Amino acid sequence: MGTHLAVHGGTPVRGARPWPRWPRPAPGAGEALADVLTSGRWSIASPHTGEPTRERRFAAEFAAYLGTGHCVPTASGTAALMTALEACGTGAGDEVIVPALSWAATASTVLGVNAVPVFADVRPDTLCLDPAAVEAAITPATKAIVVVHLYSALADLDALQAIAGRHGLALVEDAAQAHGAGYRGLKAGTFGDVGTFSMHHTKVLTSGEGGAAVTDDPQLARRIEHLRADGRVRGTAAPVAGLPELVETGELMGSNRCLSEFQSALLSAQLTELDAQNAVRRDNAALLDRLLGDDLGLVPQRTSPHTTERTYFGYAVRLPDHVVEAVPATAVAEAVTAELGLHVRPVYQPLYASPLYDPASRPRFAISPDHLKRVDPAPYDLPVAHHANRSFLTFHHSALLGTTADIHDIAEAFGRVLDHHTHLTH
């Protein structure tokens, strides 16, 4: 091909030097897990041992960290979203407005409560839900709005709170990619009726799998507790050693979506490292913004006004227009990946075009021909989300935990590929 790009057999920028490993265990994580191992209690449904559960301890710690009244840990971020939607009264036939650009669970959880996802376009700079698109999508059937803070950006919470309030809609704030981020000096996840988090392997606060729903409303918290523990909640009386701590109230049927004691103990340890790790990512991202933006003409993802603390689940950057017009983003991503040994890829496909969102593939959603028609994603074609997938690339936050030399490697790789981008059209 006449280039020295690694994808064409040239010497890569990075070579075999490893990137920072993720996840990385916090000090004390091993001891915390060993303590659970010998505790005689691996689940909150196990008999009480005389000590508070690890799950209860993490819930209190995370609520205090966020500055919210209640935290209910869950088995996953998906479980947190589903229980949040149900707790807010969302059900069969209701419409829920969701961003067109997000992970599949943003829409599949809406389907999971028999509601109808309605896709709204995103802003071209933040890639987060566009308030104007939300306003235009509201119908008499609309019950809730799910706002997602994506990659490293926070959505326009001022505008979305105002819209939800004006129309009497529940606002569910998906902060699965924004642990520790701040807006107007308050933590992300505390602005909606319910905030939800994922603690999946990829997230900046992780226990491999896991999640949490947070709220200031005690009634919503109680509903979420029922929904994630087969209709059981902790009793009001002091627990007795050897007896179950969960009480069968009969108030609300639920499912088993509880977090294990191992995961809870691990999260308590990992939480102590979150702010320091976020600070390292933020500093390295600022350096990369300068190297890619000022020197190479790429445009880093922006965040909404009033963001006071930015966090990075993924670093996202828009390719120059002349590159996007000449070569697919997938080809640029493949070439940068070859230079770095770091997985660089386009941002999410629009949900309505994603192979991970296909209601017709699940018989459980064939409630009626009318319902299948309402959840069919085929009619959607939202230009900003579509263009974002064609023009933005992203990589995982773990690379931002490296040194300034690592950041310069990333910039050098992008520069090398952009210099030879016309050779990538094969």
The total of other beta-carbon atoms located within 10 Å of residue 257's CB is 22
C-alpha 97/C-alpha 354 separation (Å) is 17
Neighbours of 408 (CB within 10 A): 14
Query: CA-CA distances (angstroms) from residue 189 to 16, 30, 196, 254?
Result: 39, 29, 6, 23
204 in Cβ contact with 277 (< 8 Å): yes
Asked whether 203 and 80 are in contact (CB, 8 A), the reply is no
Tell me, yes or no, if 143 is annotated catalytic.
no
Active-site annotation holder among 143, 187, 203, 373: 203
How many helical (H) and strand (E) elements, i.e. helices and strands, does the chain have? 15, 16
Phi and psi at residue 406, in whole multiples of 5°? -60, -40
Q: Are 296 and 105 in contact (CB under 8 A)?
A: no
Q: DSSP secondary structure string, 112-147?
A: HTT-EEEEE-B-TTT-SB-HHHHHHH--TTEEEEEE
Q: Which residues of 57-80 are buried (b: 16+ CB within 10 A; e: fewer)?
A: bbbebbbebbebebbbbbbbbbbb
Catalytic residue numbers? Answer: 203
